[in-house]
Amino acid sequence: MNALKIKENFLTEGSLILINRRYPLKRNMSQEIFLPPILDFPEIRMEPRAASCLNQLLAAWNGSEEIIPVSGFRTAEEQTALRNLALKEHGREYTDRYVALPGCSEHEAGLAIDLAEKSSRIDPICPRFRETDSFSLFCRMAGRYGFIRRYTEEKKHITGIDAEPRHFRYVGYPHSDLMNSLNLCLEEYIVYLRRFTQKKPLILLRGGRKICIFCAEAGQNICLKSGEVAEISGTNAGECVITVWS
């Protein structure tokens, strides 16, 4: 049996971190971290695992003639410039509804991607992304590759952001699948997971494999049996989520 200690820096790193006005990023991300480009769009980059999964999703979906990625990782300076542009063109009310403050955008962690209908002219602030049959198919497939629709009309009172059908967030599988089946946004999902501990974890069966999910605090030791693999993600809200694959 192996023991893994949860370190303090784990709390603010990983695919499940909350990023919003209440929980801003704790550090600036460097462009050099995000080396893998998105398929056929070398100017668009994401966190390595998110980029890999998005590339697999786009290849499996095979609908690049209809929907294309338009915005991935942004620096804090780029987020500031985008917000200033929105303020200038649309005013504060619109900007506060759709454009996050610098340090509070998921794009700055490389975990978010904005998509758009393929067009010769795309709005950088609010890309057009209609709810078509292709959109519905893409949404269903996205969950299998670790992505969720982050901002919906139904949850805007919790997320603080109006509905953005174009904005997808990488949280990793099976969390994307579980969030979709429970109809939980990321804020709600983290609260939901806090009820599970290493002694009483959430247990899932996916593809013939057993998955245990639970929360842990900094300094806690996680015990792994032979053959088990653990994925650790902070929440940026005080704990880590441990996902153990048997």
Rounded CA-CA distance 61/138 in Å is 7
Residues with catalytic annotation?
164
Omega prior to 174 cis, within 30 of 0: yes
Beta strands in the chain (DSSP E): 2-5, 37-38, 41-45, 67-71, 112-117, 147-149, 167-170, 202-206, 209-216, 221-224, 229-234, 240-245
Backbone φ and ψ of 210, nearest 5°: -90, 130
- Mention every residue, 6+ apart, whose C-beta is less than 8 A from residue 168: 112, 113, 114, 115, 142, 147, 148, 149, 150
Residue 191 is given by DSSP the state: H
